[in-house]
């Protein structure tokens, strides 16, 4: 069996999630090429050795440049804060290596454009971890719409709401424009713009109004840590134990916008990180002439379906448990029918598709490339422009 050595850059929340995926994919699935957990690169001061030992990486490193340059590394996987996506991605592409990178593809549109351009020039495979595409219910929704089951798409409604970023949560890279690029917008709207483009097959033509607000204007400076990869409770405790110095938040907390798509359909998007009661509420609803679909990640194994072709008296929303191995994408890799899967399986399934594509096979459902993620980033940029300039923005203005 062919193998590919993976070099992981970063070891926070996504560092754990990707380590789990690279470690599990050979066990659950049967990728055409086996990923080998060669090197993880963290920051000096982080316990990289402990991380490598715990998650099964052969080599810990605090030098991401040397990790990428190592001729033994065949695939570079980037899980650093957004401003630190472009430098390792460029280094990897220049070294002739395929790259997998976390979302949003970059902190700025300019970085995203350069990454997409370089990937195209080099002709190398690139992948962006819009992992929610690989929830079986979402992949199934994509297939249903592609096969025409919903007819013509008329409405798209998407929201991604969380509530972890209350006023007790201290400062971290996610609240700083120079490190994150934006707040809830790049973090959450990036996912739902990607998911709606993927599932409904729609492309934004124009942003028809938007708002962006920073609701909590200052946060306590965190003393003795970066806040990387830790839970909300731990963050709040760390904040309470820090001094009383505050810094300005320089990103949005919430962004909403309206769009018209190239096919004439209309859509709404909303992202927030202080929507009390919403934990990881990544939700979309798509209405077509023949039916509708509804999904929320908080019930990720379910897809709601309304078939308007049934006799009127029996029409109604049905809830499909997407755990059938012969009908629902990816399910056959995991447990017997009806045994639910979780967040981490989306990443394992993406690792599977990446390995298969690198071996010349097809992904179960399309993987987002750097160019794909750049197109999503253009939509985010256009929405921000609409919010700051308080006007409609055509996509052709933004590139």
Report the interface residues with ligand NAD, using CB under 6 A: 10-15, 42-43, 46, 64, 79-82, 84, 102-103, 129, 131, 187, 228-229
For the bound state, the minimum distance from the C-beta of residue 74 to ligand NAD, rounded and expressed in Å, comes to 20
For the bound state, the minimum distance from the C-beta of residue 266 to ligand NAD, rounded and expressed in Å, comes to 27
For the bound state, the minimum distance from the C-beta of residue 132 to ligand NAD, rounded and expressed in Å, comes to 7
Q: What are the angstrom distances between the C-alpha of 339 and each of 97, 141, 346?
A: 37, 20, 15
| Residue 156: count of CB within 10 angstroms of its CB | 24
Give bridge partners of residue 305 from the DSSP assignment: 293, 318
Closest CB to ligand NAD among 111 and 206? 111
Angle, helices 109-122 vs 86-94, to 10°: value is 10
- For tokens 């072709």, name the residue: 309
For the bound state, the minimum distance from the C-beta of residue 242 to ligand NAD, rounded and expressed in Å, comes to 17
Instruction: Give CA–CA dist 396/204, Å, rounded.
Output: 10
Instruction: Give CA–CA dist 63/58, Å, rounded.
Output: 15
Closest CB to ligand NAD among 84 and 93? 84
Instruction: Give CA–CA dist 323/306, Å, rounded.
Output: 19
Q: How many angstroms separate the first and last alpha carbons of the chain?
A: 42
For the bound state, the minimum distance from the C-beta of residue 10 to ligand NAD, rounded and expressed in Å, comes to 3
Closest CB to ligand NAD among 224 and 336? 224
Closest CB to ligand NAD among 79 and 204? 79
Closest CB to ligand NAD among 164 and 392? 164
| Residue 318: count of CB within 10 angstroms of its CB | 11
Residue 253 and residue 117 in contact, taking contact as beta carbons nearer than 8 Å: no
Q: Which of 279, 308, 315, 268 minimizes the C-alpha distance to 292?
A: 308
Q: Which of 260, 231, 20 minimizes the C-alpha distance to 131?
A: 20
For the bound state, the minimum distance from the C-beta of residue 346 to ligand NAD, rounded and expressed in Å, comes to 8
Give bridge partners of residue 351 from the DSSP assignment: none
Closest CB to ligand NAD among 100 and 259? 100
For the bound state, the minimum distance from the C-beta of residue 106 to ligand NAD, rounded and expressed in Å, comes to 9
Which residue sits closest to ligand NAD, CB atoms considered?
A: 12
Please tell me whether residue 118 adopts helix, strand or coil conformation.
Answer: helix
Closest CB to ligand NAD among 188 and 382? 188
């Amino acid at each position: 069996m062919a193998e590919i050595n993976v070099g992981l850059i970063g070891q926070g929340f996504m560092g754990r999630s990707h380590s789990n995926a690279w470690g599990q994919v050979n066990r659950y699935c049967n990728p055409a090429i086996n990923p080998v957990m060669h090197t993880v690169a963290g920051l000096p001061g982080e316990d990289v050795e402990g991380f490598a030992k715990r998650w099964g990486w052969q080599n810990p490193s605090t030098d991401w440049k040397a990790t990428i340059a190592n001729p033994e590394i065949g695939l570079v996987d980037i899980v650093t804060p957004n401003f630190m996506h472009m430098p390792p991605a460029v280094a990897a592409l220049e070294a002739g290596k395929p790259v997998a990178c976390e979302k949003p593809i970059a902190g700025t549109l300019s970085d995203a454009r350069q990454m997409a351009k370089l990937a195209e020039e080099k002709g190398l495979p690139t992948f962006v971890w819009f992992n929610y595409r690989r929830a079986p219910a979402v992949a199934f929704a994509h297939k249903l719409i592609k096969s025409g089951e919903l007819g013509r798409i008329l409405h798209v409604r998407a929201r991604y709401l969380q509530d972890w970023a209350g006023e007790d949560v201290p400062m971290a890279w996610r609240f700083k424009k120079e490190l994150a690029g934006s707040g809830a917008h790049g973090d959450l709207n990036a996912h739902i713009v990607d998911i709606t483009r993927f599932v409904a097959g729609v492309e934004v033509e124009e942003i028809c109004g938007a708002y962006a607000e920073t609701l909590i204007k200052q946060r306590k400076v965190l003393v003795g840590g970066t806040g990387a990869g830790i839970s909300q409770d731990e963050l709040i405790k760390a904040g309470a134990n820090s001094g009383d110095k505050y810094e300005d938040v320089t990103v949005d907390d919430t962004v909403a916008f309206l769009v018209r798509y190239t096919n004439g359909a209309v859509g709404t998007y909303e992202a927030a990180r202080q929507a009390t009661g919403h934990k990881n509420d990544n939700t979309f609803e798509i209405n077509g002439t023949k039916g509708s679909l509804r999904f929320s990640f908080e019930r990720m194994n379910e897809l709601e379906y309304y078939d308007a072709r049934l006799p009127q008296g029996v029409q109604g929303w049905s809830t499909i448990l997407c755990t059938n191995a012969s009908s629902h994408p990816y399910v056959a890799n995991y447990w017997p029918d009806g045994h639910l899967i979780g967040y981490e399986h989306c990443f394992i399934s993406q690792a599977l598709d990446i390995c298969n594509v690198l071996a010349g096979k097809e992904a179960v459902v399309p993987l987002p490339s750097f160019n794909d993620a750049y197109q999503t980033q253009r939509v985010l940029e256009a929405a921000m422009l609409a919010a700051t300039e308080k006007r409609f923005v055509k996509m052709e203005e933004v590139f």
